[in-house]
Amino acid sequence: MSAPTFDRITGRSVWPDLEPLLPSVKKPIQYVGGELNSTVKDWDACDVRWALMYPDAYEVGLPNQGVMILYEVLNEREGVLAERTYSVWPDMEAKLREHGVPQFTVDGHRPVGDFDLFGLSFSTELGYTNMLTALDLAGIPLEAADRDMTHPVVIAGGHAAFNPEPIADFIDAAVIGDGEQAVLAITDIVRAWKGEGRPGGRDGLLLRLAATGGVYVPRFYDVEYLADGRIQRVAPNRSGVPWQVAKHTVMDLDEWPYPKKPLVPLAETVHERMSVEIFRGCTRGCRFCQAGMITRPVRERSITGIGDMVKAGLEATGYEEVGLLSLSSADHSEIADLAKGLADRYEGTQTSLSLPSTRVDAFNIDLANELSRNGRRSGLTFAPEGGSERIRKVINKMVSEEDLIRTVTAAYSAGWRQVKLYFMCGLPTETDEDVLQIAEMARNVIKAGREATGSRDIRCTVSIGGFVPKPHTPFQWCGQLGAAETDERLRKLRDVIRADKNYARAIGFRYHDGKPGIVEGLLSRGDRRVGKVIRAVWEDGGRFDGWSEFFSYDRWMAAAERALADEPVDVAWYTTRERDQIETLPWDHLDSGLDRDWLWEDWQDALRETEVDDCRWTPCFDCGVCPQMGTEIQIGPTGRKLLPLSVV
């Protein structure tokens, strides 16, 4: 290795090189930064510097709550600096390469390669190729093993990081779970290590991080395979590295009221509203839902804490819509008081409220009326997920058709005319019949609406996509439905919906074809060998895989065939193959707190069509998370009320 050059001049703005490129790229505003509530700190006054990336386009990445929270938490700290970077569009990528301008942050326009840490938040696996683009543009070697002291430590987080094995070669570390406290702990370790003169070099730092038990360093683990391709075992390859790496859980959300000052972009983004997370975690126990499994237990923000965040956030942003965010927002123990209190507070101010995720059974019209009191009536969207009572028992989505009909009848009576319903196709044990019952359900919804209103002007949209089994869920063992079978089943459903002339025009049908789901499945449940596929796809030009105009199934399949040619495994092996209980799964050494035996039992319960209740309202079902992680359910009611805001 050449002599360390880490004391070279770093952090210089590339703006003078970037500016001349902007007139000729699409939506240049996304590269200039300067968002309201953004921060540019003095480079030299900070000794730990983070570049944070959401590896998708700015318009998708900027509203991401995770990055926004970490950005603010880090920048609040003395001597710590965090700047953001996003994926540049292919036109800008070409310009940067042509003119030798590196991947830059939008805050200080500093080269990403100059930072101590490069944190990437993966909500979806489809951002993996974009990570490689960013690393390459930043001048950071793609493979962690090729990096030296001059390169940032590349850390992955976000839900996809619960199985980071497919990107194990490209990242230095992964952190699973809540990031607020984890980034500060990592910052302290980096600061101490730098202060001591970087003992042990890059590995010295990574060892310190790994030794905490809360940072996964893939390089410190060896994976051994059986002849048939299954994993034999995953074991630490040096002392001081734990066998299991634990997820992080923030307790008491009221102590972490972030983002306090949400970023307000000049550019248009996918969410033109402010979001306040009203609770984290979900114990409804839907078996397909990775988010619900890996974010346990439920931790509510108090009604007054939420009220304070809404007030501060609106003052800091000027947004006119507030989304009350969580995995199932109507489940907050004081949702009725909260909705009424906020509607009272903002009466006559053109401020509207929305609940992005609501369950049919937790929803009621009083709540909907409170939410729409001050403004626009935003959409009524429900997710029965499965068409038949039987399949809903399999997935543990305990919503009956009667619940749904009762709720939509009330909604239609109260003035709504359109309801959107979300479903999945390809759920375990599913047959054509389960999916075709979606058509029946949609017809019943329309019928109920017509009866309730006496009008034929009633609409229902059915939106359906292929199910992708995810790690750390009871369905992590199941075989995914193939793309062709998914498409065939969706075609049959479409035909049945269209066949009934009395209803066909009232029912909208939107679906996603099965191919992207297979690639997502490969990346979700893949192991380290899948890294070669990702790299091959990227080298072949793969970018922005979450965007249908860029995604190429054929490119992924061709790359997989080449990259896995010498392995006893292929795409089908990773996706449509069912696993048995004893198989070592690639993510078994990453501890989400869920007890493996409990997950297996829940999988068997699914096959027996047996439902499991929500532990918020019933005794514990021993999923294992609370005792394993030293956490507990935190829910109200607090009994407090939102007081009117004092007149200024």
Give the residues lining the site for other proteins (CB under 8 A).
15-16, 19-20, 22-24, 27-29, 31-36, 264, 266-268, 272, 314-320, 350, 376-380, 415-418, 453, 455
Nearer to other proteins, 259 or 474 (CB): 259
Closest approach, Cβ 284 to other proteins, in A, equals 24
Closest approach, Cβ 291 to other proteins, in A, equals 25
8 A C-beta contact, residue 310 and residue 342:
yes
Closest approach, Cβ 441 to other proteins, in A, equals 19
Neighbouring C-beta atoms of residue 634, cutoff 10 Å: 18
| Cα 562 from Cα 22, distance rounded (Å) | 38
| Cα 548 from Cα 477, distance rounded (Å) | 28
Closest approach, Cβ 30 to other proteins, in A, equals 9
Closest approach, Cβ 38 to other proteins, in A, equals 9
DSSP readout, 23-40? GGSSSGGGGT---BT---
| Cα 4 from Cα 247, distance rounded (Å) | 34
The amino acid present at 274, given as its one-letter code, is M
Nearer to other proteins, 316 or 504 (CB): 316
| Cα 267 from Cα 286, distance rounded (Å) | 36
Nearer to other proteins, 107 or 430 (CB): 107
Distance of CA 270 to the CA centre of its chain: 15
| Cα 491 from Cα 108, distance rounded (Å) | 50
Nearer to other proteins, 304 or 418 (CB): 418
Closest approach, Cβ 327 to other proteins, in A, equals 22
Contact residues for 137 (Cβ-Cβ < 8 A; gap 6+): 88, 93, 96, 97, 102, 103, 112
* Residue 393 token pair: 């028992």
**Length of the chain in terms of residues written:** 648
Closest approach, Cβ 164 to other proteins, in A, equals 36
- Residue for token pair 């923030």: 250
Closest approach, Cβ 74 to other proteins, in A, equals 22
Closest approach, Cβ 264 to other proteins, in A, equals 6
Nearer to other proteins, 212 or 461 (CB): 461
| Cα 464 from Cα 516, distance rounded (Å) | 14
Beta-strand runs (E) in 251-338: 274-277, 279-280, 299-300, 321-325
DSSP readout, 153-204? EEEEESGGGGS-GGGTTT-SEE--B--HHHHHHHHHHHHHHHHTT-TTHHHH
Closest-CA residue to 626 (of 296, 342, 175, 311): 296
Nearer to other proteins, 59 or 570 (CB): 59
Phi, psi of 531 (to 5 degrees): -55, -35
**How would you class 356 by CB atoms within 10 Å of its CB: exposed for 0-12, middle for 13-18, buried for 19 or more?**
middle
| Cα 168 from Cα 222, distance rounded (Å) | 11
The helix or strand, by DSSP H or E, that contains position 93, with its residue range, turns out to be: helix 90-99
Closest approach, Cβ 218 to other proteins, in A, equals 39
SS3 504: helix
Closest approach, Cβ 69 to other proteins, in A, equals 21
What Rg, from alpha-carbon coordinates, does the chain have? 25
Nearer to other proteins, 65 or 354 (CB): 354
Nearer to other proteins, 420 or 494 (CB): 420
Nearer to other proteins, 83 or 591 (CB): 83
Closest approach, Cβ 61 to other proteins, in A, equals 17
Closest approach, Cβ 378 to other proteins, in A, equals 6
Nearer to other proteins, 75 or 480 (CB): 75
Nearer to other proteins, 260 or 640 (CB): 260
* Residue 413 token pair: 């009576």
Closest approach, Cβ 42 to other proteins, in A, equals 17
Nearer to other proteins, 240 or 379 (CB): 379
* Residue 444 token pair: 């019943």
- Residue for token pair 């001049």: 9
Distances (CA, A) of 192 to 52, 144, 186, 199, 533: 21, 22, 10, 10, 37
Neighbouring C-beta atoms of residue 110, cutoff 10 Å: 25
Phi, psi of 113 (to 5 degrees): -65, -15
* Residue 62 token pair: 């900027």
SS3 232: strand
Nearer to other proteins, 196 or 268 (CB): 268
Nearer to other proteins, 453 or 638 (CB): 453
